[in-house]
C-alpha cells in the first residue's frame, strides 16, 4: 500500500527532524505552564491547592501512559525512531511526580519536613505514593547513557522494569485518593489504559519465550 508507506516515511522524517526533541520538550512543559498561569490568575477554582495537587498527579499518570505506549506504537507503526523520545517522556513522568510531591509537602504539610517524615508511614496512600516516587527517582538517576554503560545492559534493563511497580503503586495511590469522595471514573480509565499496556507487554514476553 503506497499511501501507507508514504505516510510512514513522512512521519519518520518528521520524527528524525533535529528540532523534534525540542518541540516535544516544549509540549511536555505546557501542562506545567498552564497550571502556573492558572495559579497566578485565580483560575483553579475555590480550592487551588487541591486542584494543583490533583492535576499534577493526573499529569504524572498521563505521562506514564505515554511512556508505556512508546514500544507498542513503535511496533504497530513500524517506527523504531519513536524510541528516541522514550527517555525524555520518562523524565517528564518524574518531573510531574516531583511537582505532585511538592504540592503535598507545601500545601498539606507547610514544608515541615519533620511532620512530612512522620506523616508518610501513618497514611497508607501517602506511603504508596512516596514509594512510587522513590522508584521513579532511581529510574531517573540511572536514565543517562553513562549509567547504562556503568550498570551494564542486562542489569540496567532489570532495574528499569521497576516501572511496572510504579504503575501498580500509582494506581493504588490514585484509588485511595479518590475513595474518600467515592469517585472512581478516572481511576477506572487509567487502570484500563495502563492495564492494557501491561497486558500487551506480558503477552509479548510470553510469545517471545514460545
Beta strands in the chain (DSSP E): none
Mean pLDDT value across the chain: 90
Tell me the whole-structure pTM to 2 decimals.
0.92
- The pLDDT score that the predictor gives to residue 80 is 86
Mean pLDDT confidence for 65-72: 93
Residue 35 has a pLDDT of: 96
- 139-168 average pLDDT score: 91
Exposure string over 127-151, b if 16+ CB within 10 A, otherwise e: ebbbbbbebbeebbebbeeeeeeee
Q: How far is CA 87 from CA 131, 143, 150, 193, in A?
A: 21, 7, 17, 20
- pLDDT bin (cut points 50, 70, 90) of residue 36 is very high
Alpha helices in 123-184 (DSSP H): 124-141, 145-151, 153-160, 163-179
Q: In this predicted model, what pLDDT tens digit does every residue of 161-172 receive, in sequence order?
A: 999 999 999 999
CA distance 128 to 180: 16
Distances (CA, A) of 199 to 54, 89, 127, 163, 210: 27, 21, 26, 14, 17
- Selected residue with higher pLDDT from 73 and 99: 99
Amino acid at each position: 500500500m503506497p499511501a501507507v508507506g508514504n505516510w510512514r516515511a513522512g512521519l519518520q522524517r518528521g520524527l528524525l527532524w533535529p528540532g523534534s526533541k525540542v518541540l516535544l520538550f516544549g509540549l511536555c512543559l505546557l501542562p506545567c505552564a498552564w497550571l502556573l498561569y492558572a495559579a497566578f490568575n485565580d483560575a483553579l477554582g475555590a480550592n487551588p491547592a487541591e486542584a494543583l495537587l490533583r492535576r499534577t498527579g493526573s499529569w504524572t499518570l498521563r505521562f506514564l501512559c505515554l511512556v508505556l505506549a512508546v514500544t507498542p506504537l513503535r511496533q504497530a507503526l513500524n517506527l523504531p525512531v519513536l524510541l528516541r523520545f522514550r527517555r525524555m517522556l520518562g523524565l517528564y513522568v518524574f518531573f510531574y511526580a516531583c511537582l505532585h510531591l511538592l504540592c503535598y509537602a507545601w500545601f498539606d504539610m507547610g514544608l515541615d519536613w519533620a511532620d512530612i517524615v512522620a506523616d508518610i508511614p501513618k497514611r497508607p496512600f501517602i506511603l504508596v505514593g512516596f514509594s512510587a516516587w522513590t522508584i521513579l527517582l532511581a529510574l531517573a538517576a540511572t536514565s543517562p547513557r553513562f549509567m547504562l554503560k556503568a550498570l551494564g545492559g542486562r542489569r540496567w534493563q532489570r532495574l528499569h522494569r521497576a516501572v511496572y511497580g510504579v504503575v501498580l503503586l500509582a494506581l493504588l495511590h490514585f484509588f485511595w485518593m479518590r475513595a474518600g469522595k467515592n469517585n472512581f471514573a478516572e481511576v477506572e480509565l487509567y487502570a484500563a489504559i495502563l492495564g492494557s499496556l501491561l497486558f500487551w507487554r506480558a503477552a509479548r514476553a510470553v510469545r517471545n519465550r514460545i
